[in-house]
Structure 1
Amino acid sequence: MRAALYDRYGPPEVLYVGKVPTPDVKPGEVLVRVRAVGVNGGELSGRAGKIKLVTGRRFPQRTGIDFAGEIAVVGASVTGVRVGEQVWGILPRRMGSAAEYVAVAAQKVSPAPENLTPEQAVSLVTGGTTSLTALTDKSALRPGERLLVRGGSGGVGSVGVQVGKMLGAHVTALAGAKNLDFVRGLGADEVFDYRAAGPAELGTFDVVLDTVGTQHRAFRRLLAPGGRMVAVSFDIDNGLRSLSYILASALQGSRRVRFFSGNPNTELLARLARYVEDGSIREVVDTVRPLTEIGEAHRALEAGGVRGKHVLRVE
C-alpha cells in the first residue's frame, strides 16, 4: 500500500509517498481503508526531529495520527462493527495514518458523522476529542463561565471555541488578525489579535484553553480564584522548563495548569459525532490536498494562519 514516509528528519521536503506492507489485522482490531487524514502540529515536530526521544532513529518513519474512512476487515473477537461502515478515529500513541490502510484497535474507532464527507469529518477528530476532554473532563467548564481560547483559529482552538459556546460559556479567543472574522463565525463572543493584545489587556477568566504552549505563567495569572488552565501543547523548543512549570502548578495554589495527551476511545468519538450531527459543532476544513502533496500541507501549517485543519485526501 502507499503511505507517507520520510528517511531522515528535516523540512517538509523530506516527505514522500512510498510503498509499505498493508498491516495485518490482529484479534481485536479492524483494518480501515483511509479516505482522509488531518495534519497536526505534533506530526510537524516529529518530522523535524524535535521529539527524537519518542520517535527514535529508525527509518523510514511514518506520519499522521487521525483518519476517516471505512472498515475493510474485521478482526477476530470484534463485535459491533461491519465491513463498509464509515468510521473515524485516532491511532493510539503512534503515527502512520497517512496511508491507504491502518490497523487499529476496535475500541479506538467509532461511526463517523453521517452528515459529513471523510474530508470534513477528519478536520474534527483530533481537535474535537481534545476540546471535549479539555473543557468537560479536565476543566469542567460551566454555563456562564468565562473561557479564553489561545490559538482560536487552529485545528484544536477552532473546535474549542465551538465546544465552549455549546457548553454555555462566554468565549474570548486569540487569533491572527486575518482570522478574526473566521473565529467570530465559530461563535466567539470576543476575538483579539494575539499580536496586538497582551495578556494583561484581556481580563480574567474561569478557564483558559491553551493550544499554543508558550507563556504559561503570564496566562495563568489571568485565572480567577478557582480558575483552571488546560494546556494541550507546550513549547518543545523549551520543553523541560515549560513542562516543569506545568507540573509545579499542579502541586501548588488554586489556579492549576492541567496537561494531557489525548487518547480517545469509541465513547468519546461517538459523543463528538452526536454533537456534529445535531449541529452543535461544524467542520473546520482549511484546505484539502492529495496525499502526494503532504509536504505542501506541512509547509502550509508551519507558515501559520491556518483556519481549522489542513486535510489530505487518500485517493
Structure 2
Amino acid sequence: MKAIVQHCYGGPEQLRLEDLRTPEPAADQVLIRVHAASVNAYDWHVMRGDPRLARVAMSRPRGQARGRDVAGIVEAVGTEIGDLAVGDRVYGDLGESEGAFAEYAVARRGCVDRMPAGLTFEQAAALPLAATTALMGLRDAAETAPGQRVLVNGASGGVGTFAVQIAKALGAHVTGVCSARNAELVTALGADEVIDYTRTDATRTGASYDVVLDLVGNHSLRSLRRVLAPGGVVVLSGGGVFQGGSLAGPMALIVKAKLVAPFIHDRVVVLETAPSASHLAALRDLVESGYLSPAIDRTFPLVDTPAAISYLEQEHARAKVIISVLG
C-alpha cells in the first residue's frame, strides 16, 4: 500500500510517499480502507519533534506512517470484533499508533465507530481528534451549562470551529477569538460575539466568562484567569503554531498550570484527550441532530500531505485540512 512515512524529525521535506506492507488486524482491531484523513497540530508537532523537550522520550518519531484522523470502510475485522462488519463506514482517531495517511490502516475497536449519517468521508475525517477535544473540554471538563458565557480562544481553528458549535449546543453564550478574516466563519458557526485578536486583547476587555477554552497558548495563565467569572474554569488545550522551533512551546503554559493549580482559587484544567468510541458516538449524535457540522478549509491528495501539513503549521489554515486518500 501507499503511505506517507517519516524516518527522522524535520520539516515536511522529511515526509515521503512510500510502499509499505498492508497491515493485518489483530484480534481487537479492524482493517480500514482509508478514504480520507485530516491534519491536526499534533501531526506537525510529531513531524518536527517540536517542542524539543518532547524528544527526551523519543529520539525519533514513533512508527513510520503519520496521521491520526481516519474515515473509510471496514475491510477486515479481528476475531474479537462482534459489532462491526466488513463494509461498515467508520471514522476514528488512531491515537499515537497513527497510520491514517495511508491506503489502509488498522485501529482498535475503542478508537473507531460508525460514521455519522449524511457525511462524506472527508467531512467525517475532520471530526475525531478535533471535535473530541472540543467535546471533552466543554462538556466533560468545564461542565458547560445553559446560559453560561464561554470564551473560545482560537475559534477558527480545527478544534475551535467545533468548540463554538458544541458550546452553542450546550446552551452557552459564545465569544470567539480569531482574526478579522475568519470572523464571518466563526459567526456562521454560531458565535454570539467575535473578537479580532489583531485589534483587541480578549483578556483586557473587561468582560468575564464562566468558561475560557484556550486553544492557542498565546496568553499567560494570569491573563486567562483575569477574565474568569466567580466559579469559572480555564481549560487549556493549546497546540500553537510553528514559529521556527521551540524548547517547550505550549508545554510551558501547561506545566505552569499544573504546578500552580493546587494553590489558586480559580479552577484550571489541563485537557488530556484519548481516542474513545463513546465520544465518537456522542459526536455522531450531535451531527445527526443538526448541532455539529464540519468546516473544511482545503483538501489535498495523499501525495501532497507534506504541503497540507505545511499549510496548517504556518497558520494559513482555518477550520480543518483534509487528506483525500481514495477519491
Is TM-score (shorter-chain normalized) higher than 0.5?
A: yes
What's the counterpart of residue 28 of structure 2?
Answer: 28
Q: List per-residue Cα deviations over 1:104-162 (Å, max 9, x = no partner).
A: 11121110011100001111222211111111110100110000001100000000000
1:149 maps to what in 2?
152
Query: What is the distance in 2 between the residues matched to 1:141 and 1:297?
Result: 33
- Residue 210 of structure 1 corresponds to 214
Q: How many residues are aligned here?
A: 315
Q: 1:81 aligns with which of 81, 84, 88?
A: 84
Contact 1:249 1:256 in 2 (8 A): no
Aligned to 1:2: 2
Give the conservation status (yes or no) of the 8 Å contact 1:68–1:87. Answer: yes
Q: How many angstroms apart in 1 are the aligned matches of 2:234 and 2:141?
A: 9
Show the counterpart of 1:173. Answer: 176
Aligned to 2:27, what secondary structure does the other structure show? coil
Asked if 1 retains the 8 angstrom alpha-carbon contact of 2:9 and 2:61, the reply is no
Q: State the distance in 1 between where 2:298 and 2:206 align.
A: 31
Give SS of 1:4's match: strand
Deviation at 1:9, TM superposition (A): 1.9
Question: Which residue is 1:39 aligned to?
Answer: 39
Give the conservation status (yes or no) of the 8 Å contact 1:124–1:284.
no
Structure 2 equivalent of residue 222 of structure 1: 227
**How far did 1:255 drift?**
1.4
Map 1:112-191 to 2 at 5 A.
112-191=115-194
Counterparts of 2:116 and 2:154, CA distance in 1: 25
Partner of 1:64: 67
Q: Give the partner amino acid of 2:174.
A: V
Tell me the distance in 1 between the aligned counterparts of 2:44 and 2:61.
17
Deviation at 1:24, TM superposition (A): 2.0
Does 2:305 match 1:294?
A: yes
SS in structure 2 at match of 1:238: coil
Matches within 5 A, 1:253-268: 253-268=264-279
**Residues 55 and 119 (structure 1), Cα distance of their counterparts in 2 relative to 1, 3 Å cut:** farther
Q: In percent, how many aligned pairs have the same letter? A: 36
Instruction: Name 1:276's counterpart in structure 2.
Output: 287
What SS does structure 2 have at the residue aligned with 1:160? helix
Instruction: Give the TM-score, by structure 2 length.
Output: 0.91
1:191/1:135 CA distance change after superposition, 3 Å: same
* Residue of structure 2 equivalent to 1:238: 248
Per-residue Cα deviation, 1:207-248 (whole angstroms, up to 9, x for no partner):
011111232421122111111111112666434532321102
**In the alignment, is residue 248 of structure 1 matched against residue 252 of structure 2?**
no
1:55 deviates by 4.2
SS of residue matched to 1:93: helix
Is the Cα–Cα contact under 8 Å of residues 40 and 130 in structure 2 kept in the other structure?
Answer: no
The separation in 2 between residues aligned to 1:150 and 1:284, in whole angstroms, is 17
The alpha-carbon deviation at position 306 of structure 1 amounts to: 2.1
Task: Please provide the CA RMSD for this pair.
Answer: 1.7
Q: CA deviation at 1:60?
A: 7.2
2:49 and 2:61 in contact (8 A); partners too = no
**Is the contact made by 1:175 and 1:191 (CA closer than 8 Å) also made in structure 2?**
yes
Which runs of no fewer than 5 residues in structure 2 stay unpaired?
Answer: 241-245
1:84, CA displacement in angstroms? Answer: 0.5
Name segments (4+ residues, structure 1) moved above 6 Å.
none
Contact 1:179 1:307 in 2 (8 A): yes
The one-letter amino acid of 1:196's match is: R
Residue identity in the other structure for 1:149 = V
Distance 1:6 1:18 in 2: 10
Superposed displacement of residue 54, structure 1: 4.4
Partner-residue secondary structure (3-state), 2:67: coil
Distance 2:188 2:118 in 1: 20
Q: Is contact 1:225-1:254 (8 Å) kept?
A: no
C-alpha distance after superposition, 1:180-207 (max 9, x if no partner) = 1111010000001112111212511100
Range with greater deviation from structure 2 (270-279 or 301-310):
301-310
